[in-house]
Amino acid sequence: MWKKIFRSGSDTKEDAAALMNSINRENLPRHVAIIMDGNGRWAKRRGMPRTYGHNAGVKTLKKILKTANSLGIEVLTVYAFSTENWKRPHTEVDCLMQLFAEYLDREMQEMNEDNVRIHFIGRTDAFSPLLRDMMTKAETMMAGNSGIHFNVAVNYGARDEIVRAVQSLMSMSKAGEMQPEDLTEELFDASLDTSGDPPVDLLIRTGGDLRLSNYLLWQCAYAELWFTDTNWPAFSPEEFLRAIQDFSGRHRRFGGLDDE
Ligand code: FPP
């Protein structure tokens, strides 16, 4: 299994098994979120169009999903398209839509065999009926799987998600189904797109920037942050494991004090 994932390129340089063994399994993140940044810059450095970087980014995503699933991580949430990404040239937006469709078409079967449960979060209603149909088909096909819960954030913005949650809660209140004082953190959490998932334990951002970019703002309240200069297409399973290893050695206090 590990040989298969780590087979190519620089991934063979380190002993993946040793890295795996050094991870404290008692302290794995339950939910890992990733901002997959740097596709465009990676491509530009190679004298290629940005879309070349997105294509390479899909290959990275496949490897990281397999690694996270094998490790026993419960939830992986990746930022594939933000509510702000519509501002990009339409050729790039079209390419990304095409990539999502191709990815689903090509990978759905294998993800299902790997016991992955896919779920799309964000305003999916903005996509073409064909793409929406493919997303629903993939979700339905994998709904009963017990492996990693793989959230793909598309047309996603955390502020937008929060406003939609508030809207639905206000509608319930208006219909007399709840009173304002009934609102709890748990109920609010259950009104978000990630309903049912544990909070994000570890947020990874590739590409060198140190910001959250409107991603999972509620869910990341106590997330540990891990930034790398590596651009997403060059992000390897080894580097992912290093982030997990780093997390597994961290001590989280959640606002409390260290034990004596
Ligand atoms: C950010 O890099 C990346 C994106 C906006 C798209 C992410 C998409 C993928 C990794 C591939 C498709 C995903 C799926 C689920 C099939 P950027 O373009 O902003 O890079 P830059 O900062 O170097 O310009």
With cut-offs at 50, 70 and 90, classify the pLDDT of residue 10.
very low
55 catalytically annotated: no
198/193 Cα distance (integer angstroms): 12
Token pair in block for residue 213:
């970019």
User: What does the pLDDT average to over 172-199?
Assistant: 97
The full set of domain ranges for the chain reads 29-248
85 catalytically annotated: yes
DSSP 171-186: HHHHTTS--GGG--HH
* Atom from ligand 1 closest to the CA of residue 209: 22
CA of residue 213 to ligand 1 center, whole Å: 13
pLDDT of residue 28: 96
Whether the predicted model's global pTM rises above the 0.85 cut: yes
CA of residue 257 to ligand 1 center, whole Å: 39
Strand partners, 151: 77, 119
pLDDT of residue 253: 81
85/62 Cα distance (integer angstroms): 22
pLDDT of residue 12: 55
Where does the chain show beta strands of DSSP type E? 31-35, 75-79, 117-121, 149-153, 202-205, 224-227
| Class at the top of the CATH hierarchy for domain 29-248 | alpha beta
Work out the number of other CB atoms within 10 angstroms of the CB of residue 161: 25
Q: Is 258 a residue whose pLDDT tops 70?
A: yes
